[in-house]
Amino acid sequence: MIKTLLQAAKTLALKPVLFLPALLAVLIAIGLSIAFSPFLVDFAVNTIVLEIIPDSPLPALPFHMLALYPTQLAAMLLFAVLTGMVFIATTYWYAAYLGQGERKRSFKKACSDIISALKKIVSLIIFVLIIAGFFAALAAVFTIIAGAIPALGFALIALLAIALIYLYIKLTFVVQALAIEECTVKEALQKAWQFSTGRFWHIVLFIFIIAAISQVLSFIGDSLSEMALDETIGLAAVSIFWIIATSYAGIAMALYYLEKK
């Protein structure tokens, strides 16, 4: 594990060109944030600041919220899908690039692999949305149960959270499997599940370390942003460390999969 983490840092240091996919992803994400900000800000102001929320029972609340804020909620969903697609594609690029083998790695081929895999990436996002919707529905039901029977409801919510975390760990490397194995989404899900078998807690530790490194980089970027006198410079500082974190995580995850598969 430590070897993989150090190798990821070494790979980035020796090939700074590998920052480019993360740079493009961050620029697109910033562009999407700017494009969707009117809808996001309007929803936040109305619900958080003005507290314009339907006074309805919890089971009907999602439907009343949708009726009250159809455009804003649709925009939020589209923003989440597009942003997720961008970063999944970026993760896919790093896996496709490193999966080619050290002697035949091609920047151009990794880019063409993403284009040919767009349908797979969209299918994966749809799968994630379905799972998210399923867990959200269960969470709503368990919340209602918690209102009537607190002990049972909170126990069910805790079990649901554990199940969600377990599923996340088991399928963490699905994008790497999709890119490196050049398989279908269904096959990638199966391979990712099998990959985690026997190394579940090893993967948990690995993900924790990656998240900790990303958090440190994010903290540095935020600190420099707060120190900057100009807003543009502050945004640039945050973006730079975001780019570093994104590229490092993408490379480390791909190297880990290649090492252990």
**SS3 labels along 73-89:** HHHHHHHHHHHHHHHHH
Where helices occur in the chain by DSSP H, the ranges are 2-14, 19-44, 61-68, 70-98, 107-116, 118-148, 150-170, 174-180, 185-196, 200-227, 231-260
pLDDT of residue 209: 93
Q: Which of 60-64, 198-202, 257-261 has the lowest mean pLDDT?
A: 60-64
Provide the 3-class DSSP secondary structure of residue 49: helix
pTM score, two decimals?
0.88
Between CA 140 and CA 213 the distance in angstroms is: 34
pLDDT of residue 205: 93
Here the tokens at position 104 are: 């035949």
Which residue, among 194, 176, 178, has the nearest Cα to 186 in the 3D structure?
178
Number of Cβ within a 10 Å radius of residue 125: 17
Burial tier of 100 (Cβ tally within 10 Å: 0-12, 13-18, 19+): middle
pLDDT of residue 221: 79
pLDDT band at 169 (very low <50, low <70, confident <90, very high): very high
Checking if the pLDDT of 53 tops 90, the result is no
In sequence order, the 6+-apart residues with CB closer than 8 A to the CB of 257 are: 95, 173, 176, 177, 180, 195
pLDDT band at 49 (very low <50, low <70, confident <90, very high): confident
Checking if the pLDDT of 9 tops 80, the result is yes
- Highest-confidence range of 59-63, 147-151, 213-217, by mean pLDDT? 213-217
Look at the chain and report how many structural domains it folds into. Answer: 1
Between residues 234 and 178, the one the model is more confident about: 178
> Average pLDDT, whole number, for the chain?
88
Between CA 204 and CA 196 the distance in angstroms is: 10
Residue-wise pLDDT for 78-126, tens only, equals 999 999 899 999 999 999 999 887 777 788 888 888 888 889 999 999 9
| Contact assessment for residue 193 and residue 167, using Cβ atoms and an 8 Å cutoff | no
Here the tokens at position 109 are: 């081929």
pLDDT of residue 206: 93
pLDDT of residue 172: 93
pLDDT of residue 229: 66
Q: Taking residues 176-199, report their average pLDDT.
A: 91
Whole domain around residue 109: which residue ranges?
2-260
